[in-house]
Structure 1
């Protein structure tokens, strides 16, 4: 929704960008309003009287919207992607630079496509793998993942097979997945109910960084996306490190919740190197290690409270 305000001779239109609002869940603590305004506009607009009134209005609406901490105004850094800030329920902005318009456009559109690499399940008989790969039309190199993930360190080990002669050396049962160059960065997308959090992790390097002539054609890796491989503060090319757009993740999360029937899971995503808008889901984990997600304590507590609130409301409506 866009609401254009009055325009004076020396000012461009004030615009309010808002996501469609429905009553938030009981876990919602406040309405977050992000603002991208000039310093002059901030001084004239965000006055103490407005801030006090916003708190009072929120308290008056608390029964309907379940808010406990009122309306919170938060400054937006227009030099950073919106996907790395917020989340915001409403965005107020009055900037006209091309850079800001691009930031806004990137956030408000579901830019990008989400794919899955072609893959193949091998249950037994490693000698049959080359024929199975050829029949399925898979292209080397291939990532080999254990089929059964039981929490042991072995179940998280990966291998990269890059020549056909190495395929019979793999150890079924496993999943073979076409490798996609992605700049060595993986995005772990945590889903807790309707809440989404994303962290960067180091991943497998692009295949062209390897010396492919010095072993049996298989590179073996320990667990590559664990918390110790945190890439949040690493000096990485922004084109590689930029998080997937928030609207894209919200749409993906909603669709996966519907298809999987799950509320607690995480998605491992990569961006194809050199393709800004093409992403691949390479793994989905049910009830992952939320202890590695920043701020998980508050997020998970709110999620549990929202379940209780939903059950209570259903009981009331049925009585």
Structure 2
């Protein structure tokens, strides 16, 4: 196959973070040529390419919120994809879009069969009203208990990390609407991040929120990016002295099941899943999922990503050959019938 060009669009911040030069070198080792796609120029003039690798989440989110410039850029990309169905897109824009709304993505997780294996997503509901009585009814009907985490409904961008822990009904006035309320699960301040690349995945351990109980405490506001980043020494992640616990090694089979199930459910190859283990029951809880995460701590990430891309390119090429073969034999059959 002669066209082995990968068009890549990411923010400059993301490109710097992933080490673009190293990515380009690794691409060549896999017989691919990597280039930066310029959305301000004609996409046709930059083609042909066989793969579109992107992190368009910021632009998609802004477009969906009414930004005309971003809407125009996304329309341009979608029109190009529609006109070139042979291009492999990691990941399809409609599939990425569903991850931008936490409520929609949580419902998608809830619809899988993971619950049959003791894996769950904590009770949740979407809050939009400012009426405390109405909010209380919503929470009760959804089985959301105190304390709960209040997360912005928009699951991407800087503000997506601005969260709150609400301990009682009095704290409902502190919720910034629209948001998703999700029951807080005590998990001994340990978060497991599953990084998914195609049929491969890797898990890294990160700090997380300490254990909390419902009570008269005031609402705590925090940035989840600061709390759960590698090496974080935040006061919210330090367990009480009487809570010192032994380290738990997560079950690799459970993590594999989560990775495979969510990859299939969302129809995506580049996913990050946040998982905690409930300290009282040992059950695994999925608390968030996002598109094209940072992959910090993923060994040989570029090699794994390019193997995933290569597999998809080969599968598409083989499928094309099969269709051509079927057409060839159909034509021969028609000739025999005509003769």
Instruction: Map residues 52-63 of structure 1 onto 2, 5 A cutoff.
Output: none
Instruction: Map residues 158-197 of structure 1 onto 2, 5 A cutoff.
Output: 158-197=163-202
Structure 1: gaps spanning 5 or more residues = 1-28, 30-110, 231-235
Q: CA RMSD in A?
A: 3.0
Q: Structure 2 vs 1, CA of residues 179 and 315 (structure 1 numbering), >3 Å: closer, same or farther?
A: same
Structure 2: gaps spanning 5 or more residues = 1-29, 31-115, 234-242, 325-339
Does the 8 A contact of 1:114 with 1:280 survive in 2? yes
Deviates more, 1:178-187 or 1:129-138: 129-138
Does the 8 A contact of 1:126 with 1:167 survive in 2? no
SS at match of 1:290: coil
Report how many aligned residue pairs link the two structures: 200
Does the 8 A contact of 1:126 with 1:170 survive in 2? no
Partner Cα distance (1:173, 1:126) in 2: 13
Q: Deviations over 1:245-300 (max 9, x none)?
A: 22222222222222221121111100011333x10011111222235534322221
Partner Cα distance (2:117, 2:141) in 1: 30
Partner Cα distance (1:130, 1:169) in 2: 13
**1:264 partnered with 2:270:** yes
How big is the shift at 1:239? Answer: 4.5
Q: Structure 2 vs 1, CA of residues 116 and 129 (structure 1 numbering), >3 Å: closer, same or farther?
A: same
Residue in structure 1 matched with residue 221 of structure 2 by the alignment: 220
Partner Cα distance (2:228, 2:189) in 1: 11
Does the 8 A contact of 1:240 with 1:273 survive in 2? no
Partner Cα distance (1:265, 1:304) in 2: 15
Residue in structure 2 matched with residue 80 of structure 1 by the alignment: none
Partner Cα distance (1:253, 1:287) in 2: 14
Partner Cα distance (1:207, 1:294) in 2: 34
How big is the shift at 1:237? Answer: 7.1
Does the 8 A contact of 2:207 with 2:231 survive in 1? no
Does the 8 A contact of 1:112 with 1:279 survive in 2? no
Partner Cα distance (2:273, 2:190) in 1: 14
How big is the shift at 1:170? Answer: 1.2
Partner Cα distance (1:218, 1:131) in 2: 19
SS at match of 2:265: helix
Instruction: Map residues 4-23 of structure 1 onto 2, 5 A cutoff.
Output: none
Partner Cα distance (1:291, 1:139) in 2: 33
Residue in structure 2 matched with residue 316 of structure 1 by the alignment: 321
How big is the shift at 1:133? Answer: 1.7
How big is the shift at 1:130? Answer: 2.4
Deviates more, 1:128-137 or 1:160-169: 128-137
How big is the shift at 1:175? Answer: 0.5
Q: Deviations over 1:155-186 (max 9, x none)?
A: 21221001111112211110000011000001
Residue in structure 2 matched with residue 132 of structure 1 by the alignment: 138
Partner Cα distance (1:225, 1:117) in 2: 19
Residue in structure 2 matched with residue 293 of structure 1 by the alignment: 298
Residue in structure 2 matched with residue 306 of structure 1 by the alignment: 311
Partner Cα distance (2:188, 2:117) in 1: 17
Does the 8 A contact of 1:129 with 1:168 survive in 2? no
Partner Cα distance (1:241, 1:219) in 2: 27
2:289 to 284, 299, 304: 284
Q: Structure 2 vs 1, CA of residues 119 and 186 (structure 1 numbering), >3 Å: closer, same or farther?
A: same
Partner Cα distance (1:168, 1:237) in 2: 34
2:280 to 251, 274, 284: 274
Q: Which has the higher helix share?
A: 2
Partner Cα distance (2:120, 2:264) in 1: 18
